[in-house]
Amino acid sequence: MKRVFSGVKPSGNLTLGNYLGAMRHFVAMQADYECFYSVVDLHALTVPQDPEALRQQAISLAALYLAMGIDPERSTLFMQSQVPAHAELSWLLQCTSYMGELSRMTQYKEKAEGQESVTVGLFTYPALMAADILLYQTDIVPVGEDQKQHVELTRDIAVRFNNRFGETFRVPEPVIPRVGARIMSLSEPTKKMSKSSDSFGDIRLLDEPSVIKKKINRAVTDSEAVVRYDPVAKPGLSNLLVIHALCSGESVAALEERYAGQGYGAVKKGTIEAVVSVLEPIQVRYRELMATDEILDILTAGAIKAQEAAAPTLRQAKQAMGLNV
């Protein structure tokens, strides 16, 4: 069976963008692949975090994975910091990556811009992400559009390592959804919806239905009042159509037809219903899980499975580079 690896940072409130662009595909892929999914808490440390909040957010993210349908019987769900092989391989890969290629990473440039000081970890972040993926001999990495560049760098690192030290890593492929790879902010629809955007721009996975309603009703659109998918001329409306389509399981074209001749109010009302119908059951299951200790047991078992799966590759990489293993 082919292997899948992906991760999500526990660095704030997860958004509908995380779900539609990545996590719902994680759930679907369980049927056909051997899957490893991680709460990548080491990645969260690249920017300042409140320690207690980080600890809580990591557990909350694990509960969300489960609430969405990640099945710990079928997939390995684990906390990155509980599997030391990630930090270890990351060092080896930092020593085979170059300042130049890491400097070209868009996410680094965006996050570093305008900051007075930037951690070394923010810069070397892609080498840790490469370690996450390569440790499991991963075939497929489902991610949203913004992570594609990091997966491509991972491929370069793997190919270079294999050429220099002998065949060690499988070279992974990024899988980016055709629709929904870049869900936009509701308040600034030319920007990506993100965990750190302003509170009216993002729909958070744990937002109450009344909050979701308020945010979608306030979403920025345009003054033309014609329902047509056109992300360049009508980014706000087009983003709502994509969100609606993915949440109700229809195509964007079918929605254009359904809402033809109606105002944007009708599109917003339909989008609210579709989003609430997807998020409400996840929220119910999330609250049930958070009321038990089940999550901690699942993460402990997941870390053991992940460490076992990662160990042979780590050993091989160390040996190939000349370490005494």
Establish whether 191 is a catalytic residue.
Answer: no
For position 34 contacting ligand TYM by CB under 6 A, the verdict is no
Specify the stretch interacting with ligand TYM by CB under 6 A; choose among 178-186, 241-249, 252-260, 288-296.
178-186
Establish whether 111 is a catalytic residue.
Answer: yes
For position 9 contacting ligand TYM by CB under 6 A, the verdict is yes
For position 169 contacting ligand TYM by CB under 6 A, the verdict is no
User: In this chain, which of 7, 189, 235, 302 binds ligand TYM, going by CB under 6 A?
Assistant: 7
What is the number of alpha carbons within 13 Å of residue 33 lying toward its C-beta? 22
For position 197 contacting ligand TYM by CB under 6 A, the verdict is no
For position 41 contacting ligand TYM by CB under 6 A, the verdict is no
User: In this chain, which of 143, 175, 186, 303 binds ligand TYM, going by CB under 6 A?
Assistant: 143
Residues forming a β-bridge with 142: 175
Establish whether 268 is a catalytic residue.
Answer: no
Specify the stretch interacting with ligand TYM by CB under 6 A; choose among 47-55, 94-102, 145-153, 266-274.
145-153
Contact residues: ligand TYM, CB under 6 A? 5-9, 17-18, 21-22, 40, 43, 129, 132-133, 141, 143-144, 146-147, 150, 181-183, 192-194
